[in-house]
Amino acid sequence: MNGILNVQQLNVEVASKKLISDISFGLDQGDYLCILGPNGAGKSTLLKALMGIVKTASGDITLNQQSVSQLSQKQLAQHISYVPQAHGRQLNFNVADFIKMGRFPYHSAFSDWTSTDKQAMDRAIDITNISDFLSRQMQTLSGGESQRVMIAAALCQQTPLLLLDEPTSFLDPHHQVEVHQLIRQLNQQHNISIIEVSHDLNHAAHHSKHILALKNGKTLWYGQSVELLQSSHLQDLYDQQFVFTPHPQTGAMVALPCELSNDVS
């Protein structure tokens, strides 16, 4: 495979507990991969392993045919950026200062802020449309604003690959749509490859290119997103019945979870 990212037989153990076993997948430039799975399946751990936040026990991760074990953390951050699960509003920083930190991978201790840095920052601010609250404190932002700032900070790193951990989970429907639109725009207009951990099945099925479904740290299913709603994958994945029905507005098939038949007494 000639992709930008290639993961072979990845295993992750934390405190001798196996969180990820033998996961393999690849990504081409401009791909959009969604990782689905029940809580505790190892989705976030997988992203963290890619970002070098958790150590891998065995397996290979290669970026442009180069093993990540040969890259320093700084070099890795020039290839991959990461938006962690929502905690932007717990950070006590000024928005502009926080976005500026995204240029860290390109700096050594004594290097100055250059026009390249400024351009990268302006561009990130422009794409995410956050110029109105640059001088505010992170803690004063709304959920949607905070998520746009987190994405802007990652964009500032100018990486070909962006990892997002449940970027819309805590947002209201309007902001979910807004953030997803932004992610699609990054993917389609700016040719940034995306890996997104998500619980939004219908979004994943219709807007991503590939889906990796994880359960108990193992790959349950990996394939083209359009196939997700055409089989029993969902039921196996979540141990939950789904019904499928065309969206009244778009006509696209959507999955809805069934009511539980045997109630807990």
Which residues here bind other proteins, judged by CB under 8 A?
48, 51-53, 72-78, 80-82, 84, 87, 90-94, 97-98, 101-102, 104-105, 107, 109-110, 154, 157
Burial class (CB in 10 A: 0-12, 13-18, 19+), 264: exposed
Of the pair 167, 233, the CB lying nearest other proteins is at 167
Of the pair 76, 237, the CB lying nearest other proteins is at 76
In the bound complex, what is the minimum distance in angstroms from residue 85's beta carbon to other proteins?
9
Closest by Cα among 187, 208, 180 to 34: 208
Closest by Cα among 89, 74, 16, 19 to 48: 19
Of the pair 77, 179, the CB lying nearest other proteins is at 77
The most distant pair of C-alpha atoms in the chain lies apart, rounded to whole Å, by 65
Of the pair 87, 247, the CB lying nearest other proteins is at 87
> Strands 218-224, 210-215: parallel, antiparallel or unpaired by DSSP?
antiparallel
In the bound complex, what is the minimum distance in angstroms from residue 79's beta carbon to other proteins?
10
Residue 21, H or E segment: strand 17-27
In the bound complex, what is the minimum distance in angstroms from residue 65's beta carbon to other proteins?
21
Of the pair 137, 219, the CB lying nearest other proteins is at 137
In the bound complex, what is the minimum distance in angstroms from residue 78's beta carbon to other proteins?
7
> Strands 242-246, 253-257: parallel, antiparallel or unpaired by DSSP?
antiparallel
In the bound complex, what is the minimum distance in angstroms from residue 27's beta carbon to other proteins?
17
